[in-house]
Amino acid sequence: MAAASLPVYRFEDFELDPAKFELRRSGSKVAVEPQVFSLLVYLAEHRDRLISKDELIEAIWHGRIVSEAAIAARIKAARKALDDDGTSQRLIRTVHGHGFRFVGAVASADQIAVRPASEHPGEIERHPPIERDGRPSIAVLPFTVSGDAGPYGIIADALPSDVIMDLARLNWLMVIARGSSFQFREPDADPHVIGRALAVRYCLSGVIDVLGEAVTVSVMLADTGTGETIWAEHYRSALSELQQMRPEIEASVVAALEVQIPRNEVRLARRRPAAELDAWASFHLGLDRVYTFTQSGNADAQDLFAQALMSDPHFSRAMGGLSFTHFQNAFLGYAEAGNRARELDAARHYAQRAVEADRLDPFAHFNAGRSHWINGEVDQAIEWFGRATALSPSYAQGVYTRGLTRALVGEASAADEDLALALDLSPLDPLAYAMVSSRAFAHIHLQDYERAADYGAKAARMPGAHKHVKVIGALSAQLAERVTDAQRLLSEAKAIDPQLSADDFFRAFPFAETGGREAIERTLKELGL
C-alpha cells in the first residue's frame, strides 16, 4: 500500500498523519517519539473498540515482555502530546483492568491497517524517499551510549548537533532539523522507517561505546532506500579526552560525507536513463567524470554540467562545475593552441555566475579562487579560498587550495599546515594527489628536499596524478639527488605530454619571485625542461 494512501486522522485542532509520520496541532508539528506516535495511530485507527494491553503489546512492542510502567509511560507521553492527562482523559481513556480506547471525535478516510514505525525491518513496506528538489537529504540522529559514559554522556546529543550545524552550511545537502531527527532515539532505528518518516535519502547514526576508561565512537551513514551502510568510521580515545576529540570527530565526519554522499549519488544516477536525469544527477555524474583528470572525462563533464544548467538555469553548482572544466582545459593544456585565454575567461565567468547564484556555496568560492590563482592573482585567490573555508570549515578542497596558493607565495609553514589538515579532513578526496604534491612545494621552500621528494614520489603514484604532478615528483627527486627517480618521473610526464616545458609548468603554477621558485627554475633546467 502506498504511503500516500494512508488517512490523516483529524480531531479537535490536531492532525495525525501516518504518511508523513507527523502529529500536527493547528498546522504546526508536535514533537513526539516514534513509538508513541505509532501508539497514537493504532488507538485512532481502532477507536471503535477497546484495545487490551495484550493487543497493544503485540502491535507496538511485537509481543516482547514489557512492564506495566513502560506501558503507562507511553500512554502518559501520548496524552501529553495531545494536551490530555490521566485525570480528564479527554482523548485517551483508560478502562482499568481492561485496556485503552481513543474517544476523540475523529474525521478520517477509510479504516486502513497501519503498521507501527518500530516494526521489524523485514516486515515494513519499502517506500522511496520523498524527493524535494533533487538535492540529497540527510537526517542526523542522536547517538546512543553503550556503557557508563558518566558526565560525557551528553556528547551523544552534542556531537550530532554539531554535525547538523556544520552540514547545514552545505547548500547542496538538505539537512533535517534537530527537532525532527532527534525523535528517533531507538538504538536499532530502521533506516527505511526514518527515510519514509522524514523524507530523507541518507541517515547518519552513531554509538558511543564506553569500556572502562576507553571509548570508541562509531559513526555510520546509511542509504534509507536500500538500508545499505555506505560509510562507517571508528574514533578511539580515552574517555577523559572525548570532549577534546569532539571537534576533530565532527570535522572528520563532515569531510567524509562531502565525499561519500556524492559518490553514492553518482552510483544512483548511473542507474537512471539519461533522459530522466535531473539537474542534481547530471551534476554528480559530471563531478565523477571531471575527477578522472583526462581530456575526454573533462569534455564529458562539461556536457553534463551544461545539461544540469538546462534543467535549472540558476544552479550554482553546475556553474561552478563548468568553471572547473574550463580551468582544467587551461591548467592541463587541453585547450587548442591560442585558446588558453578564452578558457581562463570562461573559468572566471562561470565562477562569478556561481557566486552570484549562491553566495553561501563554498564550491562557488573555491572555483572563483582557482580562476584567480591560474591568472597569477594569488592574493585574491587566497581571499576567495578563505571565504570558502569560512563558509564550511571542513571543506577539504578549500583548505587544500588555500595551502597551495600560500606555497606559491612562499608561506611554506602555513601552507604545509593547511595541506596536512586537508588530507586529515579528506584522505580519500579526489584531489588528494594534489594535496600531497603541494606539500612537496612547501618543503622545497623549507629546503627540506628529502621530504619534498617523498611527497613528490607519493603523489605521482596516486589516482588522478597528471603531467604536472609527475614533474613535481621529478624536480623534488632531483633536488634530493635521487637522479634515477627524477629521470623516471620526467619520462612519465613526457609520455603524457611530449611538448611539456618549464613555461607550461609556471603557467600552471605562477610562483612569486622567491628562493623556492629559483630552486625550481634551476632544477627544471637541469632536467632539460
| pLDDT at position 115 | 37
- CB atoms inside a 10 Å sphere around CB 269: 21
Burial code of 410-437, b = ≥16 C-beta within 10 A, e = fewer? bbbeebbebbebbbebbeebbbbbbbbb
User: For residue 304, how far is the Cα from the chain centroid?
Assistant: 21
Cα gap 16→29, rounded to integer Å = 10
> The cell 604532478 sits on which residue?
469
Sheet holding 51-52, edge to edge: 51-52, 99-102, 92-95
Per DSSP, the three-state class of 271 is coil
Cα gap 194→213, rounded to integer Å = 33
Listed as ranges, residues in the chain with pLDDT below 50 are 1-4, 108-131
> The cell 523485514 sits on which residue?
122
For strands 174-175 and 144-146, give the pairing: unpaired
> The cell 629559483 sits on which residue?
518
Burial code of 469-496, b = ≥16 C-beta within 10 A, e = fewer? bbbbbbbbbbbbebeebbebbbebbbeb
Cα gap 95→72, rounded to integer Å = 13
| pLDDT at position 133 | 61
- What kind and span of H or E run contains 41? helix 34-45
| pLDDT at position 488 | 96
What backbone torsions phi and psi does residue 92 show, to the nearest 5 degrees? Answer: -115, 120
CB 435 within 8 A of CB 429: yes
Cα gap 359→288, rounded to integer Å = 24
Packed helices 449-461 and 467-479: angle between N→C axes, nearest 10 degrees: 150
Per DSSP, the three-state class of 113 is coil
Q: Which of 467, 466, 460, 442 is nearest to 452 (CA)?
A: 442
Q: What are 96-101's contacts with CB under 8 Å, separation 24+?
A: 98/50, 98/52, 99/50, 99/51, 99/52, 99/53, 99/55, 99/56, 100/43, 100/50, 100/51, 100/53, 100/56, 100/75, 101/43, 101/47, 101/49, 101/50, 101/51
Write down the H helix ranges in 392-431: 396-408, 412-425
